[in-house]
């Protein structure tokens, strides 16, 4: 099984890249994190971002792994605890399917991506910058894997 993260956005701040790299490297060999970076769609001043979301949706949908379980991150999605995320991962591991977490760009995700998702998940009720959401999600995936593996990183 692999943990997939499909994220819109490139040229992130160095501290975000460092955080993502750090937690990605900590993942155990049997649960590697595969990061797919999607180039943002072109944004036009004065528009609502719909055109950019559509372009990004095409790229995201093309990047989804065959047989994977898409999980779209959205501020209106289901809020879960780290332990609940660990339960989701355990179930997917037992079923032999790989989750594909999707983080949209500056204007969020197109409705086609949300409709294709098996579930919508919220990291917070706050609106987060997509780059910050990326490092937060990777850390939470690492934390959930530690719970599954019995590693002492997570403390209740």
Domain CATH code at residue 121: 3.40.1280.10
Is the predicted pLDDT of residue 155 greater than 80, yes or no?
no
E-state strands within the chain: 3-8, 33-38, 69-79, 99-103, 119-122
Predicted local distance difference test score (pLDDT) of residue 154: 72
Query: Does 125 reside within a domain?
Result: yes
pLDDT attached to residue 77? 93
Position 148 pLDDT exceeds 90: yes
Would residue 90 count as lying in a domain? Answer: yes
Inside any domain, residue 154: no
- pLDDT tens profile 58-82: 999 999 999 999 999 998 899 999 9
Q: How much is the pTM?
A: 0.93
Task: Give residue 106's domain range.
Answer: 3-149
Number of domains in the chain: 1
In a domain, 29, yes or no: yes
**155 within domain boundaries:** no
Domain assignment of residue 156, yes or no? no
pLDDT of 34 higher than 90: yes
CA 152/CA 155 separation, integer angstroms? 7
């Amino acid at each position: 099984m692999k943990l997939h993260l499909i994220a819109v956005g490139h040229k992130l701040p160095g501290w975000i890249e460092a955080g993502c790299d750090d937690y990605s490297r900590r993942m155990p060999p049997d649960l590697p994190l595969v990061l797919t970076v999607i180039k943002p769609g072109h944004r036009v001043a004065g528009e609502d971002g719909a055109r950019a979301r559509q372009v990004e949706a095409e790229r995201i949908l093309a990047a989804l792994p065959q047989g994977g379980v898409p999980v779209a991150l959205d501020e209106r999605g289901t809020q879960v605890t780290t332990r609940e995320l660990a339960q989701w991962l355990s179930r997917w591991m037992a079923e032999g399917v790989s989750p594909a977490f999707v983080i949209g760009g500056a204007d969020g995700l197109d409705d086609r991506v949300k409709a294709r998702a098996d579930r919508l998940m919220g990291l917070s009720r706050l609106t987060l910058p997509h780059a910050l959401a990326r490092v937060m999600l990777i850390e939470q995936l690492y934390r959930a894997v530690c719970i599954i593996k019995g590693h002492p990183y997570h403390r209740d």
